[in-house]
Copies of this chain bind each other. A is one copy, B any other.
Amino acid sequence: MKKFLNSIDTVLTESLDGFVAAHSDILALGDEHKFVRRKILKPGKVALISGGGSGHEPLHGGLVGHGMLDAACPGQVFTSPTPDQMMAAAEDVNTGAGCLFIVKNYEGDVMNFDMAAEMSEGVMQVVTNDDVAVEDSLYTTGRRGVAGTLVVEKIVGAAAEQGMGLKELKTLGSRVNAATRSMGVALTSCTVPAAGKPTFDIGDREMEFGVGIHGEPGRRRERLKSADEIAEEICSTIVTDLGDAARGPGLLFVNGFGGTPLMELYLMYNSARQIFEKHGVSIARSLVGSYVTSLDMAGCSITLSRLDDELVGYWDAPVHTAALRWGM
């Protein structure tokens, strides 16, 4: 394993220290590294909290700030944060208007966020499950929550910033999740620092089609195809799953898993955009980059979110986080 680190035990805390120091204008660290939070809270705003295993950076810590999350709870790499992390975060950032947990659909995350929600006051939850690759997975009952979670966090974050109430935010989050589909493909494995070796073996000419963001198996292992062939299968799966609703304006998000350069991500975007347009999707907004990663895994996912005028407005609203910033 070749990584920049000092000791396996301190990878997460040292990285969090650096992260918060680099963004000390907008972020602060909770006690015992339990969470990353917005430096200045907005009284009366519903607090948004997300989190999950580390290794997906910039998700979720990089999405804390004006117009998105109020706090993010980082677990160890690919390991759910503990309920006390979410409880501590909720206590710290809930200014009285309640708290919405945004949770990716993995059994550990769902269980731990559930426990924290039960033991905290005024908490509701949205669970994301945008991955169309498989129904159940290594760590999931039902579909996995993957890159589309960023879209939910951006849109719900903008609505919360504008004063929307807790119940309405939950409804909005569920609506965005239901309008969002993703699927990914891996060319290489990731390597978890504590494991010290690749999570899975993969041949020199193979890809894992439908891979999860922890390197968990997808639909099948097969020979590496061209970018157009890969995009064709992902995009038509997404369009088929959305049905007639796929037609019309959408957000196209091509997400790198960490080890894939931007040059290839934009090439995939180029393929995906043309394929979606043939299916009647009009690409109204775009995002390309490595935002929901799997450590150093080479690969990418394609996400399509259906948009309407309200959602476009929230997507375009000002945001100031470490990873996403515009309008301010």
Contact = CB atoms under 8 A, between A and B. Distances in A.
A5 interface: yes
A119 interface: no
A71 interface: no
Interface stretch (A88-96, A209-217, A257-265): A257-265
Contact of A17 (B23, B205, B270, B288): B270
A304 to B, nearest CB: 14
A236 interface: no
20 contacts: A2-B188, A2-B298, A4-B187, A4-B300, A6-B226, A14-B267, A14-B270, A14-B271, A15-B264, A16-B266, A21-B269, A21-B270, A22-B269, A22-B273, A54-B263, A55-B263, A57-B261, A258-B259, A296-B298, A326-B328
Interface string A292-304: 0101101010000
A260 B18 contact: no
B269 A18 contact: yes
Nearest to A203: B2
Nearest to A188: B2
A286 B25 CA distance: 11
A99 B300 CA distance: 38
A327 interface: yes
A242 interface: no
Given A226-B6, A260-B296, A298-B2, A18 B204 contact: no
A278 interface: no
Interface in A15-40: 15-19, 21-23
Contacts of A54: 263
Best-surrounded residue of A3, A22, A265, A300 (most CB of chain B within 10 A): A22
Interface string A81-112: 00000000000000000000000000000000
Given A4-B260, A19-B269, 14 more contacts: A2-B224, A4-B227, A11-B267, A15-B263, A15-B267, A16-B266, A18-B270, A18-B271, A21-B270, A58-B262, A62-B262, A259-B259, A261-B293, A262-B293
B55 A4 contact: no
A317 to B, nearest CB: 14
A-B CB proximity, top 7 nearest: A18-B270, A18-B266, A57-B262, A18-B269, A2-B187, A4-B264, A22-B286
Interface string A264-287: 111111110100000000010011
A150 interface: no
A228 interface: yes
A205 to B, nearest CB: 8
A328 B318 CA distance: 9
Nearest to A55: B263
A261 B295 contact: yes
